[in-house]
A and B are shown apart, each in its own frame.
Chain A
């Protein structure tokens, strides 16, 4: 067995032992064993991914005895390894974090036993190399995460509702994936990916398009793209936070993996409208996601919508790569796909970090409502600093990691402009505009999340009394913050190995799209280079140097402690502060037509006179338009259908006997 095979075997074994340990132990032992074994599993998976990415791959495992008829086929190539690496980057810190986090009422047998299994399924999905293996692992991932989402169903009824949504949507996605892959495998000589890859290019164009559309719907649901995202802003906030980090940082990526694997690897790429479709799905998700993130009051809901947005950005890059490769620009396609893969790893790091940070806030204060937070930076300095790092990274500001991948993304889109093709000259300006708008709104959304959550003064007593979380939780957050900084300063370390992942997508990869010379990135065939290390180093130097020099010159350094200007009032309370709602209000007004907020203003007058006001109650609610206008009507129809079938299925044994009799008569008549 090769080192890679051992790595995968170790990852699976550690996860399995973790599950058994969760079942047989109790109390703190259970938390520690589950955390450590899940962490080991993630570390082993990550190490295997790195082995494959530096050239010791692919890792192939064939286990004929596990599944009847087909057997389990695993083959971890460089493309899968990027996704395994992304899973490992968030799963290892999340597991350590979980040791402390689950102490707050989550140390139950069912929850703890599912967690290692969830990690193993996440690590193995990108390694699946046959249709049945992929479906098996995919379903394992969906079911274990469903149990984890429903972890707190006894405490809150919203958890049950979220779990229903999540379960239904992930099974609809499963049906779409199943149909796509079964039809695909039916037209191929076998069901291994090898067989599909060989026949993928030679299928009829209608079959290929059928497989593409259904797999985009199926995998897109998992990636949380609009309009299939409705489960995401419900399930991610209600899940325990270390699970949310895994779902948002790792699981949704696998949706992108599925799209890439089926469409551009197994089918070998397709006509230009495939790329255009993916790009516009991406644009819609990015804009819709960030608009809802902007107006969200619930911290974890904000992060969940931002996941939708980031998956949208990745799909924009994937779609652009598809358009470029279909119109004969393989080099540009390579730049775009590099941006997509890099953003997947980066998003895993910063979204994992933000969810862990949000989890610490929830654990310390018991609320997810941004309008009740404030002043947490002084009370929870480590969590606050980690959340600040995550916010800066997701705003795509140097020296953190989001900057590099968004730079590459915009670069690949802008450079497409002079291209001759009509499709490119129409779609790319739209994509550039949408990505730029998304970037700006993301900055506003996270300025809101950090500003109203961690700065100013606390807006409620439970936030006032918040205290910093324990050591394991801090370790989890700090290690992800370091990863964000490291990936931001030294992306060239990762870009060099992404080349092998690109080689697994020959239809999207030409030449050497992004290469690094020393610490500078050069985009192949395009003008432009970037040295994140110099930019980051320069920024840090400026931030440190300017105050020092000013102090030496005697200009700065005189500190005056004074009250905030409050129009000379003698009493200023936290209720006068900007809240998350008021911060987002101007932008919400701009996007009124898309968000369609519902206002409710109730003024109560005193009994003596209508000129005196006793209380003013202002409520603003923003519901997801897709949920009310698409899903609710569909659910109503399905319900009515179900009620009609109740008339047929009324539980009376006599009627069932009559059905049998009639059916028998019909069969006899037909077979005459």
Chain B
């Protein structure tokens, strides 16, 4: 779920599931719809236009569910703080369970965080 990110974090998430880090070997999969998801990875600061979609996406995810805020922007808006289009951090709108800092976070950090979730 992209709340308004610069797409840096998406690239790192992509490489976490790429051939080098291959998070799928741990049984973690990226799915196409929140209906199939156990959790949401949210990137970027939340812009005014994305507040509604963010909440709808969380509502559409079946419980029990986890929200993972990925990247500095998701945690504290990073470089976009006080931007005219930015509404706030992810935690301002939905309850965040796991935080992955970094701009962007390293794939190994993302895999480690996900690994921590599946125990």
Per-position 1/0 for A549-564, Cβ under 8 A of B? 0000000000000110
In the assembled complex, the Cα of A562 lies from the Cα of B54 at a distance in Å of 15
What number of B residues sit within 8 Å (CB to CB) of A? 10
Q: Are B52 and A568 in contact (CB under 8 A)?
A: yes
B29 to chain A, nearest CB (A): 18
A548 to chain B, nearest CB (A): 23
Please indicate the chain B residues that have their CB under 8 angstroms from the CB of A570 in the complex: 52-53
In the assembled complex, the Cα of A563 lies from the Cα of B35 at a distance in Å of 12
Interface assignment of A612: CB less than 8 Å from any CB of chain B: no
Q: Are A562 and B60 in contact (CB under 8 A)?
A: yes
Q: Which residue of A563, A565, A568, A570 has the most chain B CB atoms within 10 A of its CB atom?
A: A568
Q: Are A565 and B33 in contact (CB under 8 A)?
A: yes
Interface assignment of B34: CB less than 8 Å from any CB of chain A: yes
Please indicate the chain A residues that have their CB under 8 angstroms from the CB of B59 in the complex: 562-563
Please indicate the chain B residues that have their CB under 8 angstroms from the CB of A569 in the complex: 53
Within 8 A of B (CB), among A563-587: 563, 565, 568-570
Q: Are B35 and A565 in contact (CB under 8 A)?
A: yes
In the assembled complex, the Cα of A562 lies from the Cα of B53 at a distance in Å of 14
In the assembled complex, the Cα of A569 lies from the Cα of B52 at a distance in Å of 8
Please indicate the chain A residues that have their CB under 8 angstroms from the CB of B115 in the complex: none
Q: Are B52 and A565 in contact (CB under 8 A)?
A: no
Beta-carbon nearest neighbor of B34 in chain A: A565
Beta-carbon nearest neighbor of A564 in chain B: B60
B30 to chain A, nearest CB (A): 16
Please indicate the chain A residues that have their CB under 8 angstroms from the CB of B60 in the complex: 562-563, 565, 568
In the assembled complex, the Cα of A568 lies from the Cα of B59 at a distance in Å of 10
Please indicate the chain A residues that have their CB under 8 angstroms from the CB of B33 in the complex: 565
In the assembled complex, the Cα of A193 lies from the Cα of B34 at a distance in Å of 70
Interface residues on A, range: under 10
In the assembled complex, the Cα of A349 lies from the Cα of B73 at a distance in Å of 65
In the assembled complex, the Cα of A562 lies from the Cα of B58 at a distance in Å of 11
In the assembled complex, the Cα of A570 lies from the Cα of B57 at a distance in Å of 11
In the assembled complex, the Cα of A570 lies from the Cα of B49 at a distance in Å of 10
In the assembled complex, the Cα of A367 lies from the Cα of B57 at a distance in Å of 37
Beta-carbon nearest neighbor of B55 in chain A: A568
How many A-B contacts if CB must be within 8 Å?
18
Please indicate the chain A residues that have their CB under 8 angstroms from the CB of B54 in the complex: 568
B113 to chain A, nearest CB (A): 24
Please indicate the chain A residues that have their CB under 8 angstroms from the CB of B35 in the complex: 565
B40 to chain A, nearest CB (A): 11
Per-position 1/0 for B3-36, Cβ under 8 A of A? 0000000000000000000000000000001110
A163 to chain B, nearest CB (A): 50
Interface assignment of B56: CB less than 8 Å from any CB of chain A: yes
A295 to chain B, nearest CB (A): 28
Please indicate the chain A residues that have their CB under 8 angstroms from the CB of B52 in the complex: 568, 570
A113 to chain B, nearest CB (A): 58
Beta-carbon nearest neighbor of B58 in chain A: A568
A576 to chain B, nearest CB (A): 15
Q: Which residue of B34, B35, B54, B56 has the most chain A CB atoms within 10 A of its CB atom?
A: B56
Beta-carbon nearest neighbor of A566 in chain B: B56
A549 to chain B, nearest CB (A): 22
Beta-carbon nearest neighbor of A562 in chain B: B59
B1 to chain A, nearest CB (A): 8
Please indicate the chain A residues that have their CB under 8 angstroms from the CB of B57 in the complex: 568
Beta-carbon nearest neighbor of A568 in chain B: B53
In the assembled complex, the Cα of A570 lies from the Cα of B48 at a distance in Å of 13
Within 8 A of B (CB), among A28-52: none
Please indicate the chain B residues that have their CB under 8 angstroms from the CB of A565 in the complex: 33-35, 60
Beta-carbon nearest neighbor of A563 in chain B: B56
In the assembled complex, the Cα of A421 lies from the Cα of B54 at a distance in Å of 68
A557 to chain B, nearest CB (A): 15
B44 to chain A, nearest CB (A): 15
B57 to chain A, nearest CB (A): 5
Within 8 A of A (CB), among B30-77: 33-35, 52-54, 56-57, 59-60
Q: Which residue of A562, A563, A565 has the most chain B CB atoms within 10 A of its CB atom?
A: A565
In the assembled complex, the Cα of A565 lies from the Cα of B34 at a distance in Å of 8
Please indicate the chain B residues that have their CB under 8 angstroms from the CB of A562 in the complex: 59-60
B24 to chain A, nearest CB (A): 24
Please indicate the chain B residues that have their CB under 8 angstroms from the CB of A568 in the complex: 52-54, 56-57, 60
Beta-carbon nearest neighbor of B35 in chain A: A565
A108 to chain B, nearest CB (A): 54
Beta-carbon nearest neighbor of A569 in chain B: B53
In the assembled complex, the Cα of A565 lies from the Cα of B54 at a distance in Å of 12
In the assembled complex, the Cα of A451 lies from the Cα of B36 at a distance in Å of 23
In the assembled complex, the Cα of A570 lies from the Cα of B59 at a distance in Å of 13
In the assembled complex, the Cα of A563 lies from the Cα of B34 at a distance in Å of 13
In the assembled complex, the Cα of A568 lies from the Cα of B54 at a distance in Å of 7
Q: List 8 A-B contacts (CB under 8 A).
A: A563-B56, A565-B34, A565-B35, A565-B60, A568-B53, A568-B56, A568-B57, A570-B52
Name the 8 nearest CB pairs between A and B, nearest first.
A568-B53, A565-B60, A568-B56, A568-B57, A570-B52, A565-B35, A562-B59, A565-B33
Given A563-B60, A568-B53, output 4 extra A-B contacts at Cβ < 8 Å. A562-B60, A563-B59, A565-B33, A565-B34
A residues at B contact (CB < 8 Å): 562-563, 565, 568-570
